């Protein structure tokens, strides 16, 4: 693939050395993309991550002061200082941490570096869910009934009567389902508002919340968008993300099973057209809920997704390389066709029954090496799994000619993955993959919760 500085652009920006402001699987994935593009990579790490496999795979590594996220991977000045010291000319934020922080993106640009992601204005506009809903609705994207910011209980009561019950109270900032409160009746609304606002203030620095109609058993469908700085945007089809626990994705796949493909293509094309019209740039993901033939916009993620590998496997487009190329002023790749089926399972260091995190030293950590299976991980044997960071150990991405073959390969890969030292959710993942409803594509966002409530013990592997 052509290097970024060789792309056609009215204002090309040379990218030769990238600071990766992240850790774990995504840091390693970005290192791989840099190596394949012939670029230098700079990784950062705390003492916990000092023995991660990507430390040796990168061009250079720099230790961070501090251990907790706020003192290390979220320390903007420390990261920018390392960027200057290392001679990096670009910063890739990965996902999580500072990836959607408009202030950090602007600091990167003000320092004379290239931010590998959308323009800060889009991080700001789409980072606020209420604002994002308003923008997309004005552009013709369907949305479910919802409110503006809720500032007082009286307004909440008035809006709730219009929307009807059940409804959900959502923080306007952040993501991952944090702070969401489902409300079944009016007398529970005040308590839900208080709880949602408290979580939002603590987690996202803003207590802004809004109300939205609650859909009991929807499908969670998202659309991958690529956009360049020349007014062009394209979609790379959809990802099915309905298998979740605690409103966080657990299993993703593409294409989505059991939904009319023409309807999905229409939504994807509409999303791409809106992004082009708005002047959006780089990668983005439009998240929607689907229920009974209707679809409603939820939010836009202005970064690479954890589940990006699913799309890469069915389209052949390297999304991380495209992020870099587009940030350098490059143009969109050629349109891609769907080929086969891909499914990703997220292997977490947590108990399959309680979903409580598990920490410790990986005494044995042996990912499978199988045909049609790709494993993305930032860990290796002997490394510590710390309570300070996300519990994701690895992503297993299985590709097949059919959905059934992809599922089968994911099952075999999970069984072949040998881990000792921490508990994992492998048994829960296998329980879902073997579920008869899942196998026929009869899925929704409440499926995992129903399995856990069934009372059937999920044995540890």
CATH topology of domain 219-453: D-amino Acid Aminotransferase; Chain A, domain 1 (3.30.470)
3-state percent breakdown (helix, strand, coil) of the chain, nearest 5: 35, 25, 40
Cα(265)–Cα(452) distance, integer angstroms = 34
- Cβ 64 vs Cβ 46: under 8 Å: yes
CATH number of 8-116: 3.40.50.20
- Cβ 211 vs Cβ 146: under 8 Å: yes
Cα(442)–Cα(194) distance, integer angstroms = 35
Query: According to DSSP H, which parts of 41-152 are helical?
Result: 54-57, 76-86, 102-110, 120-127, 129-138
Q: What is the pLDDT along the chain (461 residues), one digit of tens a residue?
A: 333 333 333 445 789 999 999 999 999 999 999 999 999 999 999 999 999 999 999 999 999 999 999 999 999 999 999 999 999 999 999 999 999 999 999 999 999 999 999 999 999 999 999 999 999 999 999 999 889 999 899 999 999 999 999 999 999 877 667 888 999 999 999 999 999 999 888 877 788 899 999 888 999 999 999 999 999 999 999 999 999 998 899 999 999 999 999 999 999 999 999 999 999 999 999 999 999 888 999 999 999 999 999 999 999 999 999 999 999 999 999 999 999 999 999 999 999 888 899 999 999 999 999 999 999 999 999 999 999 999 999 999 999 999 999 999 999 999 999 999 999 999 999 999 999 999 999 999 999 999 998 877 776 66
pTM of the model: 0.93
| CATH 3.40.190.10, applies to 145-213 | no
What are the distances in angstroms from CA 342 to CA 215, 257, 311, 400? 27, 11, 8, 6
Cα(234)–Cα(268) distance, integer angstroms = 9
**Residues noted as catalytic:** 303
Sketch the domain layout of the chain as residue ranges: 8-116, 145-213, 219-453
Residue 8 burial (CB count, 10 A): 10
Question: Chain centroid to CA 242: how far?
Answer: 13
């Amino acid at each position: 693939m052509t290097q970024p500085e060789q792309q056609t652009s009215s204002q090309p920006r040379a990218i030769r050395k990238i600071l990766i402001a992240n850790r774990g699987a995504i840091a390693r994935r970005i290192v791989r993309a840099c190596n394949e593009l012939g670029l230098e990579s700079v990784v950062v790490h705390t003492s916990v991550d000092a023995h991660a496999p990507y430390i040796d795979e990168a061009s250079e590594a720099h230790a961070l002061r501090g251990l907790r996220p706020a003192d290390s991977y979220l320390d903007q000045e420390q990261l920018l200082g390392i960027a200057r010291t290392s001679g990096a000319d670009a910063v890739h934020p990965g996902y999580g941490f500072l990836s959607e922080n408009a202030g950090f993106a602007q600091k990167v640009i003000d320092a004379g570096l290239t931010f590998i992601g959308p323009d800060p204005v889009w991080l700001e506009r789409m980072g606020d869910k209420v604002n994002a809903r308003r923008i997309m609705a004005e552009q013709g994207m369907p949305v479910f009934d919802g409110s503006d910011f809720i500032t007082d209980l009286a307004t909440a009561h008035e809006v709730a009567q219009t929307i009807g019950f059940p409804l959900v109270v959502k923080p306007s900032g952040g993501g991952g389902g944090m702070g969401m409160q489902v409300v079944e009746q009016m007398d529970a609304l005040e308590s839900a508002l208080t709880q949602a606002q408290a979580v939002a203030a603590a987690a996202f620095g803003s207590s802004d919340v809004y109300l939205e109609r609650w859909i009991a058993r929807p499908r969670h469908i998202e659309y991958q968008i690529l956009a360049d700085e020349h007014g062009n945007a394209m979609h790379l089809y959809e990802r099915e993300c309905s298998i979740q626990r605690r409103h966080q994705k657990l299993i993703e796949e593409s294409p989505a099973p059991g939904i009319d493909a023409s309807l999905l293509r229409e939504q994807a094309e509409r999303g791409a057209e809106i992004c082009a019209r708005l002047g959006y740039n780089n990668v983005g993901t439009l998240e929607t809920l689907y229920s009974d033939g209707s679809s409603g916009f939820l939010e836009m993620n202005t970064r690479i997704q954890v589940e990006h590998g699913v799309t890469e496997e069915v389209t052949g487009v390297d999304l991380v390389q495209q992020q870099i190329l587009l940030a350098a002023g490059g143009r969109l790749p050629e349109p891609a066709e769907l080929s086969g089926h891909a499914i990703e399972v997220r292997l977490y260091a947590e108990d399959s029954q309680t979903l409580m995190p598990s920490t410790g030293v990986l005494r044995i950590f042996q990912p499978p090496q199988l045909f049609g299976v790709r494993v993305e991980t930032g860990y290796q044997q002997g490394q510590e799994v710390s309570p300070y960071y996300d519990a994701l150990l690895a992503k297993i991405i299985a590709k097949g000619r059919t959905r059934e073959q992809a599922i089968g390969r994911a099952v075999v890969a999970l069984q072949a993955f040998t881990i000792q030292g921490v508990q994992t959710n492998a048994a829960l993942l296998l329980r879902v993959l073997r579920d008869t409803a899942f196998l026929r594509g009869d899925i929704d966002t409440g499926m995992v919760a129903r399995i856990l409530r069934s009372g059937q013990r999920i044995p540890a592997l």
